[in-house]
């Protein structure tokens, strides 16, 4: 059947099960928006900035496991997506970005609202396409969904020139994608898995180090089964929070720069690291030459490039975490021994718990703990980037995958709020909290309109200390207290801002007001901005200074 | 160490830009690069010479394989392969030097493509060592211009990786 390129795009969305898209129209995209106008099955959420659309699609994808869709027009619309695409790329999140483009005949002419968005995004997309022939559009769209959602997932951009959207094709939408050069490995090599099982059985002090790959491959159940069978303690990365329940006694919480002392000590003393879907990022390893000096490393990852990139793996296993853990579980012995190791970890846990001191001021950590309590640990938490992100990671206990949503790799300020909108749209029955900072929140504050208009009941908890807090902390600790360009106490009144947008605003500056305010926020149907005036110079501890070894953690300096 | 890496790719718009972008984004260097169609017109072959230690080369190969449009990557340094490069060189050729230069051209089985009262333009193909050899001998006469294609290579029959 003959249909326009724009109709083919919408057909692809419907056939791939995409019912929600986030976007912002513009000249080159009008043909597509014209088809969306009559497509009632697809809900288009109009954000107030394209970056908000990209982050919302990303938050939607992380919360639901489905492919997130965002769209923007050519030129500035497309370039405004770039930070969102890079965020998704660094954290391996499946989104598809559709961008308008000037007509094919005008490409390269510096036409109005022209930008070479495929060129700009080569290194921040898993793959991208500039459609130059309308008959190729159906197969390109099929491929785009396939590439985004398989292997190591990631963002795919499809650039759609206006004449392609308006052109016509009879080519049907394909049933499956055929790409001869793309065949991700899922099953692990049985020989390597046997070697891994032997190493695990022999190890006296093993640790599992789990990352975002466990969540992405839906392998939490297998991870829990594996850890419980072998009785091996589990530490997760920031991206892996929720992959293993933190209330399980085998949990060591998060490791790395702001990880727990006991996780970092365990990694530094272990004789065997079982890395699953994690990539030995510099925020995890600290000084690489002193990382895990006694450990043999089993590295399970779907992406061969992640293996032996930063740290050489002794037993690499390429494949899907879920498949490999399932293959591995029956091969390993049940772990009843290693009492000494467990005793040591228990000792560390008792000696070095995560802690903070209550004072006259309201403490940000306390706010996060209270959010955990009032939501019974069942909320989806998104974060901005900086101190708020670390406190959200440390003081909320994550017990379910896809319950912690944060820009881990790129560290994008302004991510958390639009991502919360996307997560809430994808999971309407969940409570969604954005744990924010006063700096980050202002980077996409315009999306309050989106939340209000679409009645998206996200709760924004601003840990407002009047500083760009993480930078201030570094300046305090490592730059002799020279606070350069971090004081933002001149920010607007967030309660009034919320009200101006039609949301509810609540200010809290006393410890005893926290719980009632949170309960009030949860009882309020729409979006709520909670402005927590917290202790101004509170620091995130423990902390491994950049470039130091994991054992050199600092704590509670004045 | 220098590695000769052969990369088969979809003969598609933008692939070279993708590879160039990968190399610049990851901080890899390229010494030379030669691109052309293969026996299958939908496939191009890129032969590149890449310097780096084993860890860098391992990453280069894995990162190349990760690109969706890349079909096959082979490190020809690891196996028996035939390698050739073509060089065009314009060399000063004074009357008194001409006989000597022509003798060198003969010995290396190179060819003179263009003759000018004061210069020769010489074509030579061969392995890296051979090209280095002839250029060393031509250098004293004064090399005016030099262009090279970059190395291309094929693994020997029966020993494909």
DSSP state of A238: S
Q: With bands split at pLDDT 50, 70 and 90, how would you rate the model's confidence at B5?
A: very high
Q: Which residues on A lie below 8 Å from B65 (Cβ)? A: 304
Catalytic residue among A50, A114, A143, A538: A50
Decide if A546 is inside a domain. Answer: no
The residue-averaged pLDDT of B19-44 equals 95
Looking at the complex, does the CB of residue A146 fall below 8 Å from at least one CB of chain B?
no
Answer yes or no: is pLDDT of A125 > 70. Answer: yes
Give the closest-approach CA distance of A412 to chain B in angstroms. 19
Residues of A in Cβ contact (< 8 Å) with B70:
181
More confident residue, A557 or A287: A287
Per-residue pLDDT at A558 exceeds 50: no
Catalytic residue flag (residue A112): yes
pLDDT in tens, A262-295: 999 999 999 999 999 999 999 999 999 999 999 9
Ranges A4-8, A321-325, A545-549: which has the least confidence: A545-549
User: Do residues A382 and A504 share a domain?
Assistant: yes
Question: A206: part of which helix (H) or strand (E)?
Answer: strand A206-210
Q: How far is B15 from chain A (nearest CA, A)?
A: 10
The CATH number for A525's domain is: 3.40.50.970
Three-state DSSP at A69 gives strand
Q: Residue B145 falls within a domain, yes or no? A: yes
**Chain B residues close to A182, C-beta within 8 Å:** 68
Q: What is the pLDDT of residue A416?
A: 98
Residue of chain B whose Cα is closest to the Cα of A307 = B59
pLDDT at B108 over 80: yes
Q: How far apart are CA A91 and CA B88, in angstroms?
A: 48
Cβ pair A418, A494 in contact under 8 A: no
- Per the structure, the count of domains in chain A is 3
- With H, G, I as helix, E, B as strand and everything else as coil, classify residue A89: helix
Residue A399: strand pairing partners = none
B61 and B130 part of one domain = no
Contact B58 A119 (CB under 8 A): no
Q: Closest partner residue to B71 among A122, A181, A308, by Cβ?
A: A181
The strands making up A43-46's β-sheet, listed across from edge to edge, are A43-46, A20-24, A68-72, A95-101, A156-161, A127-130
Query: The CATH number of the domain where A224 resides is what?
Result: 3.40.50.1220
Same domain assignment for residues A274 and A132? no
Does the pLDDT value for residue A154 go beyond 90? yes
Question: Do residues B62 and B49 share a domain?
Answer: yes
pLDDT, averaged across chain A: 96
Counting residues of chain A whose pLDDT is more than 90, the rounded percentage is 96
The answer, for A304 touching chain B at a CB cutoff of 8 Å, is: yes
Q: List pLDDT tens digits, range A323-359.
A: 999 999 999 998 777 899 999 999 999 999 999 999 9
Over range A193-218, report the average pLDDT.
97
Cβ neighbourhood burial of A524 (10 Å; 0-12, 13-18, 19+): middle
CB contact under 8 A, B17 and A308: no
Note down the domain range covering A335. 190-351
The pLDDT, as a whole number, for residue B157 is 86
A520 and A376 part of one domain = yes
Q: Which of B46, B79, B112 corresponds to the end of one domain?
A: B79
**Interface with A, mutate which of B9, B16, B44, B62 (most A CBs under 10 A):** B62
User: Would you say residue A556 lies in a domain?
Assistant: no
pLDDT at A556: 67
Question: What average pLDDT score do residues B103-118 get?
Answer: 96
Question: Does residue B50 share a domain with residue B31?
Answer: yes
In this model, does residue B32 exceed pLDDT 50?
yes
At A555 the pLDDT is: 84
Q: How many CA atoms lie within 13 A of A389 on its CB side?
A: 27
Helix (H) or strand (E) holding A209: strand A206-210
Q: Indicate if A113 belongs to the active site.
A: yes
- For residue A232, the model assigns a pLDDT of 97
Query: What is the spatial order of strands in the sheet that A272-276 belongs to?
Result: A251-254, A234-236, A206-210, A272-276, A296-301, A315-318
- For B105, the 3-state DSSP assignment is helix
CB burial string A201-235: b at 16+ within 10 A, e below: eebebbbbbbbbbbbbbebbebbbebbeebbbbbb
Burial of A458 per CB tally in 10 Å (0-12, 13-18, 19+): buried
pLDDT at A266 (0 to 100)? 97
Quickly tell me which residue has 């991510």 as its tokens: A415
Give the mean model confidence (pLDDT) for residues A521-549.
96
Q: Which domain holds residue B54?
A: 2-79
Q: Is residue A165 part of a domain?
A: yes
ipTM: 0.89
Half-sphere exposure of A486 toward its Cβ, with a 13 Å CA cutoff?
20
Task: Give how many domains chain B has, as a whole number.
Answer: 2
- Could you tell me if B102 and B143 lie in one domain? yes
Structure confidence at residue A389 (pLDDT): 98
């Amino acid at each position: 059947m003959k249909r326009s390129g724009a109709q083919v795009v919408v057909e692809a969305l419907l056939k791939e099960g995409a019912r929600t898209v986030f976007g912002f129209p513009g000249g080159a995209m009008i043909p597509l928006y014209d088809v969306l106008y009559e497509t009632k099955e697809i809900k288009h959420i109009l954000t107030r900035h394209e970056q908000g659309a990209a982050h919302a699609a990303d938050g939607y994808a992380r919360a639901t496991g489905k492919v997130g869709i965002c769209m923007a027009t050519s030129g500035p619309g497309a370039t405004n997506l770039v930070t969102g695409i890079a965020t998704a790329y660094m954290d391996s999140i499946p989104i598809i970005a559709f961008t308008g483009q000037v007509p094919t005949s005008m490409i390269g002419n510096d036409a109005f609202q022209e930008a070479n968005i495929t060129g700009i995004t080569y290194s921040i997309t898993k793959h991208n396409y500039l459609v130059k022939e309308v008959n190729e559009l159906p197969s390109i769209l099929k491929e785009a969904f396939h590439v985004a959602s398989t292997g190591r997932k990631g963002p795919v951009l499809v650039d759609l020139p206006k004449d392609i959207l308006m052109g016509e094709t009879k080519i049907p939408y394909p049933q499956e994608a055929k790409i001869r050069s793309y065949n991700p490995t899922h099953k692990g090599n049985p020989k390597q898995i046997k070697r891994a099982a032997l190493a695990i059985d022999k190890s006296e002090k093993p640790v599992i180090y789990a990352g975002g790959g466990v969540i992405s491959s839906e392998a939490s159940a297998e991870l829990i089964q594996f850890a419980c069978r072998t009785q091996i303690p589990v530490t997760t990365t920031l991206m892996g929070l929720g992959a293993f329940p933190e209330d399980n006694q085998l949990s060591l919480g998060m490791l790395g720069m702001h990880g727990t002392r006991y996780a970092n000590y365990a990694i530094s003393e272990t004789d065997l690291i079982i890395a699953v879907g994690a990539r030995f990022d510099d925020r995890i390893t600290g000084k690489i030459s002193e990382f895990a000096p006694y450990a043999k490393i089993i590295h399970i990852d779907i992406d061969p490039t992640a293996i032996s990139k930063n740290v050489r793996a002794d037993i690499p296993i390429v494949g899907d975490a879920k498949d490999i853990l399932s293959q591995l579980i029956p091969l390993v012995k049940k772990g009843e021994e290693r009492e000494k190791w467990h005793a040591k970890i228990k000792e560390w846990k008792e000696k070095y718990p995560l802690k903070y001191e209550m004072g006259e001021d309201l403490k940000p950590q306390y706010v996060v703990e209270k959010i955990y309590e009032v939501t019974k640990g069942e909320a989806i938490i998104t974060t901005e980037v900086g101190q708020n992100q670390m406190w959200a990671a440390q003081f909320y206990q994550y017990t379910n995958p896809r319950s912690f949503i944060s820009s881990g790799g790129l560290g994008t300020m302004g991510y958390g709020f639009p991502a919360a909108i996307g997560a809430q749209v994808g999971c309407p029955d969940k409570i969604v909290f954005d744990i924010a900072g006063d700096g980050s929140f202002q980077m996409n504050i315009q999306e309050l309109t989106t939340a209000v208009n679409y009645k998206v009941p996200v709760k924004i908890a601003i840990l407002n200390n009047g500083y760009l807090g993480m930078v201030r902390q570094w300046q305090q600790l490592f730059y002799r207290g020279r606070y350069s360009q971090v004081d933002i106490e001149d920010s607007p009144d967030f309660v009034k801002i919320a009200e101006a947008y039609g949301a509810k605003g609540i200010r809290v500056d006393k410890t005893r007001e926290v719980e009632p305010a949170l309960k009030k926020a949860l009882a309020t149907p729409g979006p709520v901005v909670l402005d927590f005036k917290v202790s101004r110079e509170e620091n995130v501890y423990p902390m491994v200074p950049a470039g130091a070894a994991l054992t050199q953690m600092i704590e509670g300096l004045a | 160490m220098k590695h000769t890496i052969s990369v088969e790719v979809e003969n598609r718009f933008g692939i070279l830009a993708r590879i160039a972008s990968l190399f610049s984004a990851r901080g890899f260097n390229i010494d030379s690069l030669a691109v052309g169609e293969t026996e299958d017109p939908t496939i191009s072959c890129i032969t590149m010479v890449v310097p780096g230690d084993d860890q860098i080369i391992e990453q280069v190969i894995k990162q190349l394989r990760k690109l969706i449009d890349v079909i096959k990557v082979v490190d020809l340094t690891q196996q028996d392969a035939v390698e050739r490069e073509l060089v065009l060189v314009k060399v000063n050729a004074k009357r008194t030097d001409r006989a000597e230069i022509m003798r060198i051209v003969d010995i290396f089985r190179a060819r003179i493509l263009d003759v000018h009262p004061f210069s020769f333009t010489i074509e030579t193909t061969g392995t890296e060592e051979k090209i280095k050899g002839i250029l060393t001998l031509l250098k004293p006469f004064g090399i005016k211009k030099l262009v090279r294609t970059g190395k291309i290579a094929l693994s020997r029959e029966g020993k494909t990786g």
